[in-house]
A and B are shown apart, each in its own frame.
Chain A
Amino acid sequence: DARVTQTPRHKVTEMGQEVTMRCQPILGHNTVFWYRQTMMQGLELLAYFRNRAPLDDSGMPKDRFSAEMPDATLATLKIQPSEPRDSAVYFCASGLAKDRLVATNEKLFFGSGTQLSVL
């Protein structure tokens, strides 16, 4: 079965360190989403790509977070420098959007997430 692959599954790091999370979307999907999940905020949309172009990263703290898609098989989310408040589960999801007005025409496939702990 096709699936979204996220690495690493778990990451423990110290405050100030750089963290890079990777996502391999499903082949043929043209949209990639990054979400962050915490108990307090729920699922927050951080960034959204279509055809590898960033469309919306307004949910992301720009001073420390960056998201890229160097190619169609890889999406990355970087935090530099990391802070304890960044501790959360980060999910990547991919989907297929056929219309400009629609985020996704079909269901999203989620990865298993990266559990990040910043000490």
Chain B
Amino acid sequence: SQQGEEDPQALSIQEGENATMNCSYKTSINNLQWYRQNSGRGLVHLILIRSNEREKHSGRLRVTLDTSKKSSSLLITASRAADTASYFCATDGVRRGSTLGRLYFGRGTQLTVWP
């Protein structure tokens, strides 16, 4: 499977702490994206990092990409209770035998931030 796999499956922290989630994938990618999903809602895009980028920031979010290790990490600094959600990585990879990209999601990390 080309799917990205997030690690850990679940993460529980206190407000103010940092949360780090990791994503590993198997094939070459065009870009990697992180999404957030609140319970019962659709996914919301957080950040996109292209294969030629190594790090990207957006507010309290920091994403790194290591294409040699086929891995990415999402860091949320100074977490808040409102950050409680599931976080997914999505890889835009090239399917073997085809020139067209696909976007595959991992199973997600459930983050709980306690007040």
List the interface of chain A (C-beta within 8 A of B): 4, 33, 35, 42-43, 45, 48, 50, 55-56, 91, 93, 97, 99-113
Contacts and interface: CB of A to CB of B under 8 A. Distances in A.
A106 B48 contact: yes
B88 interface: yes
A101 B30 contact: yes
Contacts of B106: 42
A104 B101 CA distance: 8
B49 to A, nearest CB: 12
A56 B93 CA distance: 14
Interface of B: 3, 30-31, 33, 35, 41-45, 48, 88, 90, 92, 94-95, 99-108
B107 A42 contact: yes
B105 A42 contact: yes
Question: Which of B3, B45, B100 has the most C-beta atoms of chain A within 10 angstroms of its own C-beta?
Answer: B100
Contact of A101 (B41, B44, B90, B101): B101
Contacts of B41: 112-113
Given A106-B48, A110-B43, A112-B41, 7 more contacts: A4-B42, A43-B107, A103-B103, A104-B101, A104-B103, A107-B48, A108-B33
Contacts of B30: 99, 101-103
Given A101-B94, A102-B31, A107 B100 contact: no
Contact of A108 (B45, B94, B108): B45
A103 B45 contact: no
A93 B88 CA distance: 15
Nearest to A33: B103
A25 to B, nearest CB: 13
A29 to B, nearest CB: 13
Given A43-B88, A91-B42, A113-B42, A107 B33 contact: yes
A27 B113 CA distance: 36
B88 A107 contact: no
Contacts of B33: 107-108
Contact of B102 (A56, A91, A110): A56
